[in-house]
Amino acid sequence: MIKPHGSDELNPLFVYDTTKNEALQVEAEGLQSIMVSSAAAGNAVMLGAGYFNPLTGYMNKADALSVANDMKTTSGLFWPTPVLNLLKDAAGVKAGDRIALKDPNVEGHPVIAIMDVEAVEEFSDDEIALISKKVYNPSPDEAHPGVDAFMEQGKVLLSGPIQVLNFSYFLSEFPDTFRTAVEIRNEIAERGWKKVVAFQTRNPMHLAHEELCHMAMERLGCDGLVIHMLLGKLKKGDIPAPVRDAAIRKMVELYFPENSAMVTGYGFDMLYAGPREAVLHAVFRQNMGATHFIVGRDHAGVGDHYGAFDAQTIFEEVPAGALQIEIFKADHTAYSKKLDKVVMMCEAPDHQKEDFVLLSGTKVREMLGNGIAPPKEFSRPEVAQILMDYYKSLND
């Protein structure tokens, strides 16, 4: 199986030993505690689940700035986005302290991790602006939800290793879908898959997405597909994870051969960082055991901040050998009226725009909200029904 990023073995930071986990929870009751941001809690989940291998905790200022500037830590580890624990103030925490990190996303705010604080530092306004520019590269003419969320966290940085005690709300709310990198690696091995392609989604999958996965599997000669959906916080208006989950599972049940596709999810908030986030997605797909990863048009983008294929060309900046996972570059896929099937638009040079079935996201949401199923050339009817039921529930 493909090796994880940066090490020979996967090193998840979750404390799996029950006795030790319980002892740490007891210890946490006597430690100073701080409430972390949703982003920092998501980072803890990803560290605990092994997706952020080989990191051992939150980055310090030097590493964060090095990653923002050069996509590598000060030790030379290739990494595309800073992994931070930012606060508005240090709350009296100092270097050398052992503290409990409380989860803002779960009622009662249980301790999600214990942290050994190695440094307490503060970013200047210029440094925050630099990270925002390098990582998110927002257009000056349009608001950016990822930048807004980053700016809201504060400028005080706590760095150091952590021990993760739970997976926040993801395991309880998505017991059939949330999987750690460890679990996915194990299931890939159990299924006997050797070549595996991963598909990232934060939306329901329409016919074009489904056919893109079939194309990738066929062209790469893959044994299996891992549909890996984001289960964390999205921007306003995005379809909730349980609805996406139901729609995707129905599609796989009806339109994929048995033992060819896994439906899984991971606990992280969307960054909307476009190209940099596409590279991050590749890192944790390698860590979960995928050999290939589909990167499509405007991958992880939002609004008009990024060029259509920026998330593909950024991989040309990845140093040779830094990642083992291979990228399957995909163009926009759509149903061709001429050919009576879904194609990559770049592979149909004799087509005009009107030869494709193209619907904007706004138009699709409008149709679903009015109880109108999109055409079968755009969406499977069984998937459309789940989405129509969701939109109907909003109006009831």
Catalytic-residue membership of 365? no
State yes or no: pLDDT of 85 exceeds 90.
yes
Cα–Cα distance measured from residue 279 to residue 180, given in angstroms and rounded to the nearest whole number: 19
Cα–Cα distance measured from residue 51 to residue 4, given in angstroms and rounded to the nearest whole number: 9
User: Same fold for the domain at 18-171 and the one at 177-395?
Assistant: no
The domain segmentation of the chain, as residue ranges, is 18-171, 177-395
Q: Where are the beta strands (DSSP E) in 4-155?
A: 33-35, 57-58, 86-87, 98-102, 111-116, 119-122
Q: In CATH terms, is domain 177-395 a member of 3.40.50.720?
A: no
State yes or no: pLDDT of 134 exceeds 90.
yes
pLDDT attached to residue 301: 73
- Residues 53 and 287: beta-carbon distance below 8 Å: yes
Catalytic residue, candidates 203, 244, 249, 287:
203
State yes or no: pLDDT of 164 exceeds 90.
yes
Task: Give the residue-averaged pLDDT of 313-326.
Answer: 95
Q: Of the given ranges (146-155, 232-241, 366-375), which has the lowest mean pLDDT? A: 232-241
Residue 136 backbone dihedrals phi, psi, to 5 degrees = -100, -30
Catalytic-residue membership of 202? yes
> For residue range 261-314, what is the model confidence (pLDDT) as tens digits?
999 999 998 899 989 999 999 999 999 999 999 998 878 777 778 887 889 999
pLDDT attached to residue 300: 75
CATH level 3 topology of 18-171: Sulfate adenylyltransferase (3.10.400)
> For residue range 196-238, what is the model confidence (pLDDT) as tens digits?
999 999 888 999 999 999 999 999 999 999 999 998 876 677 7
pLDDT attached to residue 234: 66
- Smallest Cα–Cα separation from 297: which of 254, 337, 328, 269? 328
Q: Of the given ranges (12-21, 98-107, 328-337), which has the lowest mean pLDDT? A: 328-337
pLDDT attached to residue 361: 79
- Residues 23 and 154: beta-carbon distance below 8 Å: no
Cα–Cα distance measured from residue 128 to residue 138, given in angstroms and rounded to the nearest whole number: 13
pLDDT attached to residue 240: 83
What confidence category does residue 80 fall into, taking pLDDT thresholds of 50, 70 and 90? very high
State yes or no: pLDDT of 360 exceeds 80.
yes
pLDDT attached to residue 235: 65
What confidence category does residue 53 fall into, taking pLDDT thresholds of 50, 70 and 90? very high
Catalytic residue, candidates 191, 202, 249, 365:
202
State yes or no: pLDDT of 126 exceeds 90.
yes
pLDDT attached to residue 141: 76
